[in-house]
Chains A and B, each alone.
Chain A
Amino acid sequence: MNARPLPRLQGLTREFYAWCARGQLRFQRCAACDAWRHVPREMCARCGSLEWRWEKSAGTGQVYTWTTVERPMHPAFAGDAPYAVVVVEMAEGVRFASTVTNCPPERLRIGMPVRVVFERRTREIALPRFVRADGAQQRGPWGRTRP
C-alpha cells in the first residue's frame, strides 16, 4: 500500500527527471550570467534573467552532509532502515539530496568524492543516485544504503 514516493511530473520537475531518464544529470544554467541553479526555478535569482538552459553536470561531487535514518517516518522506507540520505555538493556548486549506493552509513565521510548513477523507476523517471568515486574497495553490505 505504501509505494515509494516519486516526484510529481509537472513543469520544470518533469524536465529535470526526463533528462535523468535519458541518463543525464542536468541542472539549469542562466543564459545571461551562467549561474548554475537547483532546485529548478523560472528566474535567475542572481541576475533576474528568465532565459536559461539545461546544462549537463559533470556528475561528480562530494558528500556535504548526511543523516542515517534508523527509524523511518514514512512507511515506504520502513524495510530499509538503517539507511543514509546524503547531500552531495556537485562540482557546479548546487546541492542534491540522494543516497550513496555502495557505501554503508558508517563509512560515509563529509568530503567523500562521489559520482552520479541512475536508478530507473518508471518509464519517465530515473532517480540520480551516487557511488563512491575515490577508488575505495567496495565491499558489502551494499544493500544497507538503499533506497
Chain B
Amino acid sequence: MSAPSPVRPPTVARAHSGVSSSLRDRACIIGIGETAYSRGGTPELSQLGLQLQASARAIEDAGLKHTDIDGILPFPALATAEELAANLGVEDLRFAATLHMGGAAPVAALQAAAMAVATGVARHVLIPAGWNGYSGRRTREIVASDEGAIPGGAVARDYYMPFGLTAPLQWYSLMARRHMHEYGTTPEQLGAIAMTMRQHAQLNPNAVMRGKPMSMDEYLASPLIADPYRLFDCCLETDGAAAVVVTTAERARDLRRRAVYIMAVAEGHPYPADDLLNRPDPFSVGLTYAAPKAFGDAGVRPEDADFAQIYDCFTFEVLQQIEEAGFCARGEGGAFVEGGRIALGGALPVNTHGRLLSEAHVLGLGHIVEAVRQLRGDARERQVAGAEIGVVTGWGDFGDGSIAILRN
C-alpha cells in the first residue's frame, strides 16, 4: 500500500560507524557445561537443579571453584541470581543482572559479562540457562496464563491476543508469509533448514532427535501449526540446561582450558521493540542493528566466519537472521540455505549441533556452548575442520537480537 509510514525510524547504521568497541578480545569464554537433554520420562532435576548442574560443570571445565564466581547473569523469569548464588556458595556476588531479551538474552549477556570483566567489576561471570521445557510448564500453558509471563507483554495482551494471535510461532508466521510474498521464499527452503538441523543432530550424542533422520517429504507432510509453519518448522520442548563462564584474556591464560576470545559482541532491539506489526521496515530486527556493529568491531566480514550458530526458534527466523547478519542480501536467504551451503562441509555450516530444532531448547545458551566446542576443536564427528572464527546469534521476544563473533 502506498500510504506513508506513520513513524520514521532512526537511521539504521548499516555501515559501521567507525567507532570501535574497546571490548575487542578483552574477554574470553573459559568454561562450558551442559546437562543431558531429554523429553519424556520423569525429570530428576528441577529447573534450578538443571541450571546448577550445568553451572557446576562449566565452572569445573574452567578449572575454577564455585567461590571464584563473582558475577551471575541469569535468564529472565527463571532462577534468580540470588538463588543460583545461594546454591553455588557464591559469597561475594559483585555483579548480577538479567537482560530481558528472551532467547537473545544469553548472547547479550556475553556483552554484559565482557564489560564487567574488562572493567574489573567482576572477574568470573557465570551465564546459565535451562528449564524443564518438556516436563514442566509448557508453552501452551504459559500463553494461557493470566499474568506476568505473557509473551509480548501489554501490546500482545491488549492488541494481539483478543484476536487469536497468542503465541510466538503465530507472530513470526506472519513475518514468514510476508517474506514469501515479497521475495518468493518457499516451504522447501524452510524445509532445507529443518532438514539440515536434523542431519547435524545425527552426529550429536546429546541430541534429542539423534536416530530420527528426516526427509523433505516427511517435512512437507508434517501438519500445519500456524501456516506457513509446520510442526517441523518449530523448536523442540525439552528439559536441560547449559552454562558458560567468562573471564578476562589475562586471567584466561592462567587457566587450563584453551580460551575462546570474544572478538566482538553486540545486542540490538527492533524499532519499535514492543510491537511486531508497526515497523516501518517489517524485516528489520535487533540483529539488523547489532550485526554491522559487531562485524565492524571485530574487523572481520560475515564471509570470514567458519560457522554460525543461529538461534532457531523456527525455521524462518534462521533464514531472516542469515539475511540480517549480512551473510547474504535481504531476500536471498531462501537461495542461500539451499544446496547444502549451511550443512557441515558447506560454505557456512549452521547449527552444527542441531540445536533448538533438533538437539534441545536451552534458550540460546547451547549455541554458545557449541561455538566454543567448535573453536576448541572438540566437536568430534561434527567438527568444522580448521575452525577459527565463529558467529553466534540470539533472538527473542519480538525480534530482539544479539550476536557474538568468537575466535580461538
Chain A interface (Cβ within 8 Å of chain B)?
2, 4-8, 13, 35-39, 45-46, 61-62, 64-77, 80, 83, 85, 87, 89-99, 105, 110-111, 127, 147
Contacts and interface: CB of A to CB of B under 8 A. Distances in A.
B225 A71 contact: yes
B6 A7 contact: no
Nearest to A65: B178
Contact of A77 (B154, B164, B173, B277): B164
Interface of B: 1, 3-8, 139-140, 143-144, 154-155, 157-167, 169-170, 173-175, 177-178, 181, 223-229, 272, 274-275, 277-278
Contacts of B154: 8, 13
Given A66-B177, A87-B174, A5 B223 contact: no
Given A65-B177, A92-B3, A74 B161 contact: yes
A61 B2 CA distance: 11
B164 A85 contact: yes
Contact of B173 (A38, A67, A92, A95): A67
B167 A74 contact: yes
A91 B226 CA distance: 27
Contacts of B4: 93
A30 B182 CA distance: 31
Contacts of B8: 45-46
B174 to A, nearest CB: 5
A70 B159 contact: no
B1 A61 contact: yes
Given A13-B158, A75-B144, A64 B178 contact: yes
B278 A95 contact: yes
A92 B3 CA distance: 6
B176 to A, nearest CB: 8
B166 A70 contact: no
Interface of B is mostly: mixed
A3 to B, nearest CB: 10
A120 B167 CA distance: 24
A74 B166 contact: yes
Given A39-B278, A61-B1, A65-B181, A7 B227 contact: no
B133 to A, nearest CB: 15
Contact of B226 (A5, A64, A70, A76): A70
A70 B178 contact: no
B164 A69 contact: yes
Contacts of A46: 7-8
A85 B170 contact: yes
A49 B278 CA distance: 19
A73 B139 contact: yes
Contacts of B181: 65, 110
18 contacts: A4-B162, A7-B158, A7-B159, A13-B154, A13-B158, A35-B6, A36-B6, A39-B155, A39-B278, A67-B228, A67-B229, A69-B170, A71-B226, A75-B144, A85-B163, A85-B174, A92-B3, A94-B278
Nearest to B157: A8
Contacts of A39: 155, 158-159, 274-275, 278
Contact of A73 (B1, B170, B275): B170
A67 B170 CA distance: 7
B175 A65 contact: yes
Contacts of A37: 6-7, 278
B223 to A, nearest CB: 7
Nearest to B138: A73
Contacts of B177: 65-67, 110
For B154, B166, B175, B181, the residue with the greatest tally of chain A CB atoms inside 10 Å of its CB is: B166
Nearest to B159: A39
Contact of B164 (A6, A72, A95): A72
Contacts of A65: 174-175, 177-178, 181
B290 to A, nearest CB: 21
B3 A89 contact: yes
For A45, A85, A105, the residue with the greatest tally of chain B CB atoms inside 10 Å of its CB is: A85
A36 B8 CA distance: 11
Contacts of A92: 3, 6
A49 to B, nearest CB: 13
B163 A127 contact: yes
